Structure 1
Amino acid sequence: MKKQTFPIRLGAAAVFLLAVLLSGAITLLALWLQPNALRTVLAGFRASPMLIVLNALPVGLTVLTLTFLFRNVFFAAAVTELAVCGLSIANRIKIEVRDEPVFPRDLGLLKEVGSAVGTYDIRFPWAQAGAVVFLCAVLVLLGLFLRCKVEEPYSPRRDWAIRLAGAAGSASVLTALVLTVYASNDLYNSFPASNPYYVPSVFNELGFPYCFTHHFTTYTVDKPAGFDRREAEAWDSADAAPAGQAPRVHVVMVMDEAFSDLTDDPAFTYGEDDDPLPNLHALRQDPNCIAGHIVVPGFAGGTANTEFDVLTGMQTNALSATTTSAFRAVNRDLDSLYRVFDADGYHTSFLHPGDAWFYNRENVYRWLGAEEIEFAADMKDLTYKGRWATDESLAALIEETFETAVQNGETLFNYTTTIQNHMSYTADKYGAGYVFPPVQTSAELSDAAQTLLSVYIEGARDADAMLGRLWRYFAAQDEPVVLAFFGDHLPYLGDDRLAYRELGVALSPQEPGTEAFLRSYETPYVIWANDAAAQALNWNTAPVRCCGDGGRISACYLGSTVLELTGRVQESPWFQYLTDLRRELPVIQKDTVMLSDRSLTSVEALTPDQQALLERLRCWSYYKLKYKDVTE
């Protein structure tokens, strides 16, 4: 009998079978490493068998690519196992310490990861990591004794040609799948998840390999044409006024969920006695009030995108050619209003009576520089209307936050995002049997539109009452206070804009270049100063009163407007630039631009100087998102 010699040479069929089996084992190990129980994941896979393929396929194609390169299926599996399971462990740790999974974009943040490790109390899964290392060692050992056959007669040139062609072919198939099948949001959203809005839960239930691969094409930030990092760095390092020179006035900004002045449309027949928005209308007449409309990133949704635009001055719609979620594109410290006020010695806070994980706010507001962050779980004495925390109770919390700051000798900058008037506007929103005041309109409404409007307008009344309460409260204070109150987007009132159509409200969110297009994204804002703040800031001579469209501006300008009114816009080259841009191009909404004379045009029709100003906005934003080192 012929004596067996090592290494043993395996044929193509055996190698392929081993690649399939090892890929399956690596996939199972990656799933086992996740925070939830493996049996729970597999139970979900039995209900949706396609998830088995979607999780295993990228692992298998990676093994196949490396098998061609190494000419050794075990070495290929060892490298793949170390990479996939290493990412899976990182995902587990990140979910546990930050309630956020690992995304492909995190691979470019190794420096930030290294500096952040010491700031968290991390429980490393040593046993699981040991299992990964042990299996890797076993695979390497097997690879030393079991190798692929080499065609005889051996030709190095032909051998490398086959290896490179095979690896390129396998990698090309994987790339094509990432850009097509794995990029499909329809497919991704078709799988049931216990909470589709909670991304860590989706990763746990649909499988880490699939979800990680899917997110190669999500939350993208496009590099602008002509971007020059050194040029952007020079813009950002331009001379600025010293911090702490502006008058110290408290600043409270309230972004109210779906707040709009829709009921001002002629289709409604409300009078003074039943006006849903009496406080907004009265405040607009106050000599200390600056009022208008902001043009927000999205129609009938996208709350966090408006937060991003207002607080950072960047534009969600300019980040990517595809639809993106601005807060999901944030993964590092950024400049924001919080940092400007913090540099002036303010106590900065964020309040939101929702879940910390939603839109990843818990992490994003820390990256934006907020000193104090509170969500529903942290708030005492919240009252609810149905299942929604009321605007009234949040107003009380704002007052309490203000009083605490005053007692501590601090000046407050607060940004609050409400939640009460969030969709859906169904008859049971506030509990069975809740009676809604009838809608006063001259239009003939269907039952569906009548319900949508009556429920929405009830929430708008409560939002207006919150505005009135804060107005009266701060008007009675000796401390100087500036209050900004605005909506995040128009309400969603039925498929294909059902209630809007029946009212005769002309909205065209998909037809740029028209007034109906801009109106689809408009919400009201008021910026008001109490008497003490008006005196401290020379409010009546504020230059912002006469800029732009007499009040219509893009949401990305609202923050710089507040800074200008409070005398500190020159402390930041970025916000000073936005102030200058606002006067030249007060509204930028995708490809539609409104000029200072209120006329509408397109980006392509701008003068070369105007196009250069707009290009700076995109290039500077990209620099901030990708490169700027924000130091505390």
Structure 2
Amino acid sequence: MIFKARINAWRAGLQRILEGSPRRKYSIITGLTLLLPLGLMLWTESLQRGSLTNAFGWMLKNATISMFNYGIYLSVFVLIYALVGRFVFAAGLSALLLALAALTSYFKSSLIGEPFFPWDLMLRKEGLNIFSYISSFSTAFKLLVILLCIACIFLLRIVVPKLSLPLLARLGLGLLSIYVLYAASVQSPWAGKLAKELGYKETVWNQNKNYTDNGLAAAFVMNVKHTIIERPEGYSKEELARIAESIVAIQQASAQSANDGQDNSAAGSEAAVKPNVIFIMNEAFWDPTLLPNVSFSEDPIPTVRGLQQQFTSGYLLSPQFGGGTSNVEFEVLTGLSMSLLPQGAVPYQQHVGDSLPTLASYFEDQGYYSMGIHPYDGWFWSRNRVYKSFGFERFKSKTGFDNPQFKGAYISDEEVTKSIIEEVSASDRPMFIYAVTMQNHGPYSKPRYQEHEVQVSGELTEDAAQILQTYTQGVRDADKALGDLIAHFEQSGEPTVIIFYGDHLPMLGEEYSVYLQGGLISSSSAWDWSLEEWQRMRSIPFVTWSNIPMEKQSYPALSYAFLGSVILDELHMDKPAQFALGSKLAKQLPAMTGPLYVDAQSQLYAKVPEHSKSLVDDYRKLQYDLMFGKRYLADYVDGAFIHKTPQEGYTLE
């Protein structure tokens, strides 16, 4: 009772002060409104950078850009204040929303090397998947402390009066805040000039540095403009007509070469045979024996190792690390490149509309039954919608598996192999299958297997060794599942081509701990890596197998976007528009992704080399035309393919 009486007394005293003079009241509100965003900035940057010391250090070292961030925090708070009408409630809500943004950015940077982007807001359920990685006791305790701090802010409303503003003032301040945030987001002339004068230096290709140097609020808001895809300079119907001419020339030369190859080979008599074409993108598949400081009791991937010696194989340069599987699918299936989209973009969520020409729709045109298989939830990355847009006839997701075997939290790779065999056996048409596995999805911090066929040893901490041990067993299971699939088609003799690869390197501990201890990289900061280290951390082995005659090729570095062209060439099939132009570009610049480009002589570059800029510009215009433009290309080449609509009988399991 005494405590309650004191609270009431304090509240009454504050109320008398505020009611004594309107000028005094609004002076107090103004002062608190100007002071609070400073606290919000310190609060947010502390969470984003991992400590209060780091936040203070950044603010003192970057005083002018801190002012720019302060203006954004002020606008955010004033907007929320204008909407809710109560100062304390607006302060608590602001602290909560900003804490969520800062923590998301902190964990995302620690785990996969990317901060929190505006387009991450479109991920919906996928964003919840991060919580499986941050469930440690120390992290849970930190989150609890943060929530308690926010709760304390809300509880201040017991003591502090409403501090409300007149409706007209709230409306004016709210509109002003929206204007300021909009101007900063789209970088209107005055906002862009002000940001530059205050020291904002955008580093689009290095977003970690962008956020570290410029602050979370400024970097996040200024990134909004990247969600708006700008028309490439020179994009026009006439330009696409010119590009179409070059595509037709490529297609004609390719067709002649394919005919010559068939006429001069034993395969000529089998030219009419349409083999099953099976792409298997194995979750986080990589070769752990590439860690120089680690030893293995036996080779964990003997099947893959054998295929590397006998069939077309090489290394794919992934646009992702540790996550973002759908972006790799996007490159393979569409023949388009993530390097021409903003860093952090997710086309499946942002840019895939009602239809987009892909390998799935192309093979369907060739008489194939096109099917996607993924033993996880169909909504993840919006595959249930996107696969329809891509021209698949059927998508079998987690619910399509009948009483499957699980290994850990996910359906096993062996079950995917069984599913592929069942689907091919049941089909009266040759099949194009795009299968994405799930068993070896992270995190790997907790043991998930009772036995480990391959033992790991080396210069690793106990935690790192356990993570790598768990991951390696998953790789071993993936290799065995591939071997079982090959054995089936060897025995059945049904003409089949298999393409097997991973989507990205696995996330092995925070701050690349296993890679650092294993000797693959020299720093826990990705932006300190050399170009050679970038290549190591983005290179994924791929192998092929077939029971029809195919020429063996080797690819030291290849973009996923160009993999479809390679396979179509191997099959002596015509290449549709984007795959044809991609094949030409691949001869000059076989691998391209945001931080790294590799040319035909295996030279490494941090940006597009001069000798390939013209062709990359053409490729960019084609990609824009298909994804965002008028599809002028269809007027000159592959019109039916480009304008093909989704299958009417599309089936989702």
Structure-1 residue corresponding to 2:501: 486
Contact 1:258 1:490 in 2 (8 A): yes
Structure 2: distance between partners of 1:456 and 1:428: 9
* 1:164-179 map, 5 Å: 169=176, 172-173=179-180, 175-176=182-183
Structure-2 residue corresponding to 1:314: 336
- Kindly tell me: are residues 318 and 596 of structure 1, through their superposed partners in 2, closer, same or farther at Cα, counting changes over 3 Å? same
* 1:525-544 map, 5 Å: 525-530=542-547, 533-534=548-549, 539-540=550-551
Matched, 1:475 2:487: no
* 1:368-387 map, 5 Å: 368-387=390-409
Structure-1 residue corresponding to 2:286: 260
Contact 2:184 2:222 in 1 (8 A): no
Contact 1:253 1:485 in 2 (8 A): yes
- Kindly tell me: are residues 472 and 221 of structure 1, through their superposed partners in 2, closer, same or farther at Cα, counting changes over 3 Å? farther
Deviation at 1:393, TM superposition (A): 0.7
The answer for unaligned runs of 5 or more in structure 2 is 1-74, 84-119, 124-166, 188-220, 260-270, 632-641, 646-653
Deviation at 1:169, TM superposition (A): 4.9
Matched, 1:296 2:318: yes
Structure 1 residue identity aligned to 2:289: T
Contact 2:520 2:536 in 1 (8 A): no
Structure-2 residue corresponding to 1:422: 441
Matched, 1:276 2:324: no
SS at match of 1:355: coil
Matched, 1:340 2:366: no
Contact 2:445 2:509 in 1 (8 A): no
SS at match of 1:483: strand
* 1:405-484 map, 5 Å: 405=427, 408=428, 410-430=429-449, 434-436=450-452, 439-441=455-457, 443-484=458-499
Contact 1:232 1:619 in 2 (8 A): yes
- Kindly tell me: are residues 166 and 455 of structure 1, through their superposed partners in 2, closer, same or farther at Cα, counting changes over 3 Å? closer
* 1:94-109 map, 5 Å: none
Structure 2: distance between partners of 1:361 and 1:582: 28
Contact 1:490 1:520 in 2 (8 A): yes
Q: Which moved more, 1:227-236 or 1:620-629?
A: 227-236
SS at match of 1:349: strand
Q: Give CA deviations for 1:304-345 in whole Å, capped at 9, x if unaligned.
A: 11111111111123212x421121123321111112111111
Structure-1 residue corresponding to 2:568: 563
Structure 2: distance between partners of 1:103 and 1:493: 26
SS at match of 1:342: helix
Structure 1: distance between partners of 2:222 and 2:424: 43
SS at match of 1:553: strand
Structure 1: distance between partners of 2:370 and 2:80: 44
Q: Give CA deviations for 1:41-63 in whole Å, capped at 9, x if unaligned.
A: xxxxxxxxxxxx989959989xx
Structure 2: distance between partners of 1:367 and 1:626: 15
Structure-2 residue corresponding to 1:97: none
Matched, 1:228 2:236: yes
SS at match of 2:377: coil
Deviation at 1:177, TM superposition (A): 7.5
Contact 2:79 2:178 in 1 (8 A): no
Structure 1: distance between partners of 2:564 and 2:292: 31
Contact 2:79 2:173 in 1 (8 A): no
Structure 2: distance between partners of 1:234 and 1:339: 25
Deviation at 1:589, TM superposition (A): 2.2
Q: Give CA deviations for 1:411-464 in whole Å, capped at 9, x if unaligned.
A: 10000000000000022435xxx34457433x3211110111011011111111
The answer for unaligned runs of 5 or more in structure 1 is 1-52, 62-100, 105-147, 150-164, 181-212
Q: Give CA deviations for 1:96-133 in whole Å, capped at 9, x if unaligned.
A: xxxxx9979xxxxxxxxxxxxxxxxxxxxxxxxxxxxx
- Kindly tell me: are residues 392 and 298 of structure 1, through their superposed partners in 2, closer, same or farther at Cα, counting changes over 3 Å? same
2:411 to 383, 386, 389: 389
Structure 2 residue identity aligned to 1:225: E
Contact 2:374 2:396 in 1 (8 A): yes
Contact 2:312 2:543 in 1 (8 A): yes
Structure 1: distance between partners of 2:289 and 2:314: 16
- Kindly tell me: are residues 605 and 376 of structure 1, through their superposed partners in 2, closer, same or farther at Cα, counting changes over 3 Å? closer
1:505 to 520, 528, 544: 520
- Kindly tell me: are residues 555 and 507 of structure 1, through their superposed partners in 2, closer, same or farther at Cα, counting changes over 3 Å? farther
Deviation at 1:474, TM superposition (A): 1.6
Deviation at 1:383, TM superposition (A): 1.0
Structure-1 residue corresponding to 2:209: none
Structure 1 residue identity aligned to 2:305: H
Structure-2 residue corresponding to 1:399: 421
1:323 to 324, 338, 344: 344
Structure 2: distance between partners of 1:280 and 1:331: 33
Identity %: 27
Structure 2 residue identity aligned to 1:285: Q
Structure 1 residue identity aligned to 2:494: E
- Kindly tell me: are residues 278 and 59 of structure 1, through their superposed partners in 2, closer, same or farther at Cα, counting changes over 3 Å? same
Deviation at 1:224, TM superposition (A): 2.8
Structure 1: distance between partners of 2:511 and 2:352: 34
Q: Give CA deviations for 1:148-206 in whole Å, capped at 9, x if unaligned.
A: 99xxxxxxxxxxxxxxx9998576235148669xxxxxxxxxxxxxxxxxxxxxxxxxx
Q: Give CA deviations for 1:469-517 in whole Å, capped at 9, x if unaligned.
A: 1121122232211100000001101111101111111277435762111
Structure 1: distance between partners of 2:643 and 2:361: 9
Matched, 1:350 2:352: no
Structure 2: distance between partners of 1:342 and 1:257: 26
Q: Give CA deviations for 1:261-311 in whole Å, capped at 9, x if unaligned.
A: 12244433335xx3211111122233xx11111001012221111111111
Q: Which structure shows the bigger proportion of residues in helix conformation?
A: 2
Deviation at 1:219, TM superposition (A): 5.1
Structure 2 residue identity aligned to 1:584: Q
Structure-2 residue corresponding to 1:285: 309
Contact 2:122 2:349 in 1 (8 A): no
Structure 1: distance between partners of 2:537 and 2:272: 37
1:517 to 507, 514, 534: 534
Count of residues paired in the alignment: 426
SS at match of 1:525: strand
Structure-2 residue corresponding to 1:592: 596
Contact 2:456 2:469 in 1 (8 A): no
Structure-2 residue corresponding to 1:128: none
Structure 2 residue identity aligned to 1:173: V
Contact 1:297 1:316 in 2 (8 A): yes
SS at match of 2:296: coil
Structure 2: distance between partners of 1:254 and 1:438: 23
Structure 2: distance between partners of 1:560 and 1:378: 31
Contact 1:569 1:575 in 2 (8 A): no
Matched, 1:601 2:623: no
Structure 1: distance between partners of 2:564 and 2:573: 11
Contact 1:512 1:592 in 2 (8 A): no
Structure 1: distance between partners of 2:568 and 2:385: 24
Deviation at 1:585, TM superposition (A): 0.9
Deviation at 1:555, TM superposition (A): 1.3
Structure 1: distance between partners of 2:234 and 2:529: 25
Contact 1:219 1:326 in 2 (8 A): no
SS at match of 1:603: coil
SS at match of 1:486: strand
Structure 2: distance between partners of 1:307 and 1:351: 12
Q: Which moved more, 1:308-317 or 1:167-176?
A: 167-176
